Amino acid sequence: MVRGPKNKLGNRIAATILVVALLPILLSTIGTLSTIHDITDAAVLEGQRQVTLAVESVQKNSLENQTKLVNAELSKIENSVSYLATVSQQVLSHPELFKPLKDATALKKEADGYEWTPISSNKNLTTVFIGKGARLSSGSLADIGRTKYLEPLFVNALAQDSHAVAAYIILRESITRIYPQLDFHTMIAKGWFPAEFDPYQFNFFYTADPTHDPARKVVWTAPYLDVTGRGWMVTSLMPIYLENGQFRGIVGVDVTLQNLVKGILDDIHFQQPGAYAFLLRSDGQVIAAQPKGYSSLDISGTKSANLLQLGNQQLSAAARQIGAGGSGLLTVDLHGLKQYLFYAPLGVNGWSMVFAVPVAEVVNPIEDTIQANTRKQVQTLELRAITTSLLALVLVVILAVLFSYRVTRPIRQLMAAVGTLGNGDNGVQIPVTQKDEIGLLVLTFNEMSARMKNLVENLEAKVRERTSLLRKALERQKEVNRKILASERARRTLIASVSHELRTPISAIQGYTEALRDGIVKDPQEVANYLEIIYRRVIGLNILIDDLFCLSRLEAHLPMDIQTYGATPLLTQFAGALKTELEVAKLSLEVEIQANLPGICVDKERLNQVVVNLVTNAIKFTPAGGKISFRAYAAENVMVEVSDTGIGIAPEDLTHIFERFYRGKRNPLRRTRGHGLGLTIVKEIIEAMGGQIWVFSQPGQGCTFTFSLPVEPAGHENKLSEN
Ligand code: ADP
């Protein structure tokens, strides 16, 4: 695979995916953990609630049961009281049926003004007490005798009910019969009991009087400190109404609180160590409580046992609510401790049984149990949530890396390929592995790369072509430069040669002319000779100047008058013009001109100059008696040949004879002959017309000049110029 630079994009993509995914995972984890805690808290709360409800229910049931038991106990007492009251009514309403009975001991009037029946040794007897100043009526004493009928009932009542400590009847004029016997003498002597006992002053009487008990039902007193020294007491009492409707007195059964608590409250047991039970009367009076209750309610010692008077608003409100009857649950604050107060009425007498249970002792153990149970589950759930999140995280990391690799691999391949392109490796192709935008990018790159390769190849071809053209142009330029240099050299040589060529005749002319001017030569014949020499030099100069002029025109490539001529007639015409001159030179002329030669494209005058120059040279270098041949024949072009039987040209001269001012090194006529420009002019003219010239020679065997003339192009035969 193609490796690119450090995978920064990939890292960025992976990091982005991680960040994007991490956040929801974190949030989800936090959310899950928080939810677990919420659910757990809710579960704990719900558990607490449920268990609290269960506890409440248990307490209520227990309370109900206890209430029933207590009610049963109290009912027993009330039933006894009710029975005693009924019997009393009968006994007192029917004097004709119930004759007064005599007590074992007679009534004894004491010094303090009261009367009583002193204690007898018989435990089953009652004591009669008449308060000082009691306003006795005529029937009062008889009624005392009648109440004795109750004596066995009193004994029976106490025997039947372990809670009862005393049973008695008090008639409204302060006549009391009580069982068991009481030592009134001692009690009054010690000041525990008043000699002038007025029953209306004591709750164990007035609670059932017509004012306090208009319904004439069994009632209960508030707890009171017993006047007979038996401690705290409550009394169940009932009024006695005669059959004529007259209120006659009450019957009552005393129950000491100690007994009551022992008999009723002691049987109540709580699981909660701080819980206790107490009996509450509707006016807020605590009738009895389990020992813990006295400290908890703060009613021990001398303090009032009435909850309405303790200064605790919550407790007062609770007491009022409980006193209103009904059953339920209240929560109060006692000394900073929350307490549940479960309450239920004791049906028979308007009392309520209350269970006080510290809230903490109900809730805390539940909380502890539930938390102990749930903590383990919470830990398991948390572990699961965290493990799941970690797994998700690992998955996201793997996916992010894979995804970023998948996304960036083609890009890195592209980068590497682009790098390869940069190194000149055109046409590189990347395998397309994806059908998405990146795949499209790779495809586009491949296409671009291929096109680039084509482009580069085309460019290279063009560059090669241009280079070749340039090289050719350079060659041409070099050739031109060479020519320019050669031309320059030639020019310099020409100037030097021309100067040289001019200097010689001009010096001669100068010398001869000076000699004539200075009169050094006076002989007329010699003067004539001098003038002849001067004249010939001038002629020579003239020819030289003509030749130079002609040459310069040729080299300047001045346009020539090229026309098409029939080669045969034209050359025949030229040959004819040579005859006279050859005769003068005593040379024979051989002319062989092929008939019907094609038309040639030439400057007629120039061509004539060529023929004249060649023939002139031939005449010059051919001794008299020699022969000069003029031939023309058709080859590829029209070929013209001028040959002589003269002295020929030395091999070392052959290559130079067409150069300017070259006259041959061993040329015997060198000093007297021309300026060495003739052949140069000939060659220039022939080449200017598009032909070529060659020379063949052997010293002493004459020489042959052959030149070609361009023929007219095919199809132009009829456009010959007139000769
Ligand atoms: P020139 O004016 O001196 O004749 P050319 O250019 O015509 O100059 O000739 C150059 C030289 O070539 C001559 O000097 C001569 O040496 C040689 N040459 C030319 N034509 C002939 C010929 N037909 N036979 C022998 N030598 C010749």
Those residues with Cβ within 8 angstroms of residue 530's Cβ, 6 or more apart along the chain or in another chain: 512, 515, 516, 521
- % of the chain with per-residue pLDDT over 70: 95
pLDDT of residue 349: 65
110-256 folds as Beta-Lactamase (3.30.450)
pLDDT (tens digit per residue) in 51-85: 778 877 888 888 888 888 777 878 888 899 999 99
pLDDT digits (tens, 9 = 90+) for 275-322: 998 888 888 888 788 888 888 888 876 556 888 888 888 899 999 999
Q: Is the distance from the beta carbon of residue 428 to the nearest atom of ligand 1 less than 6 Å?
A: no
Residue-level pLDDT at 716: 61
| Residue 146 · residue 98 · CB < 8 Å | yes
Pick the closest to residue 177 from 94, 83, 95, 104 (CA basis).
Answer: 104
Alpha carbons 148 and 313: distance in angstroms, whole number? 50
pLDDT tens readout for residues 109-165: 999 999 999 998 888 999 999 999 888 888 898 999 999 999 999 999 999 888 789
Give the mean model confidence (pLDDT) for residues 168-173: 95
Residue 653 CA to ligand 1 center (angstroms) comes to: 10
Q: What is the DSSP letter of 271?
A: S
Find out whether the beta carbon of 675 lies less than 6 Å from any atom of ligand 1: yes
Residue nearest to atom 18 of ligand 1 (CA): 617
Average pLDDT, the chain: 86
State the pLDDT at residue 199: 94
Going by C-beta distance under 8 Å and a sequence separation of 6 or more, which residues neighbour residue 209? 200, 239, 247, 250
Q: Which atom of ligand 1 is nearest to the CA of 662?
A: 10
The answer, yes or no, to whether any atom of ligand 1 lies below 6 A from the CB of 674, is: yes
Query: Which residue spans of the chain are classified as CATH 3.30.565.10?
Result: 559-719
Cβ atoms of 667 and 653 within 8 Å: the answer is yes
For residue 224, give the H/E element and its range.
strand 224-225
Residue 608 vs residue 10, higher pLDDT? 608
User: Ligand 1 center to residue 285 CA distance, Å?
Assistant: 177
Identity of the highest mean pLDDT range in 306-310, 323-327, 664-668, 685-689: 685-689
617 CB near ligand 1 (under 6 Å): yes
Alpha-carbon dihedral 219, 224, 225, 231, rounded to 10 degrees: 60
Distance 480 CA to ligand 1 centre (A): 30
Any atom of ligand 1 within 6 Å of the Cβ of 599: no
Q: Which fold has domain 559-719?
A: Heat Shock Protein 90 (3.30.565)
CATH homologous superfamily of domain 262-361? Answer: PAS domain (3.30.450.20)
How far apart CA 76 and CA 78 sit, in angstroms, is 5
546 C-alpha to center of ligand 1: Å?
18
Output the CA 543–ligand 1 centroid distance in Å: 16
Q: Which protein residue has the closest C-alpha to ligand 1 atom 13?
A: 663
Angle made by CA atoms 698, 699, 703, in degrees to the nearest 5: 55
- Beta-strand pair 588-593/627-634: parallel
Of 472 and 302, the structure prediction assigns the larger pLDDT to 472
Rg (CA), the chain: 85
- Picking from 372, 379, 370, the residue whose alpha carbon sits closest to that of residue 44 is 370
* The token pair that represents 444 in the structure block: 């586009």
Tell me the two tokens of residue 394: 């690992």
Q: Which atom of ligand 1 is nearest to the CA of 679?
A: 6
CA-CA-CA-CA dihedral for 620, 622, 623, 627, to nearest 10: -130
Cβ–ligand 1 contact at 153 (below 6 Å): no
Atom of ligand 1 nearest to the CA of 676: 8
Among 219, 242, 222, 241, CA closest to 233: 222
Range list of H helices, 621-693: 651-654, 678-688
Q: Which of 551, 657, 680, 706 to mutate to test the pocket of ligand 1 (most atoms within 8 A of CB)?
A: 657
Q: CATH 3.30.450.20 spans which residues of the chain?
A: 110-256, 262-361
Query: Over the stretch 229-288, which tens digit does the pLDDT of each residue have?
Result: 677 788 999 999 999 999 999 999 998 877 776 777 777 888 888 899 888 888 888 878
User: 73, 94 in Cβ contact below 8 A?
Assistant: no
626 lines ligand 1 (CB under 6 A): no
Q: What share of the chain is helix, strand, coil (3-state, %, to 5)?
A: 50, 15, 30
Rounded Cα distance between 492 and 484, Å, is 12
Alpha-carbon gap, residue 633 to 629, rounded angstroms = 13
Using DSSP, state whether 540 is helix, strand or coil: helix
244 token code pair: 């004529």
Q: What is the mean pLDDT of residues 475-499?
A: 82
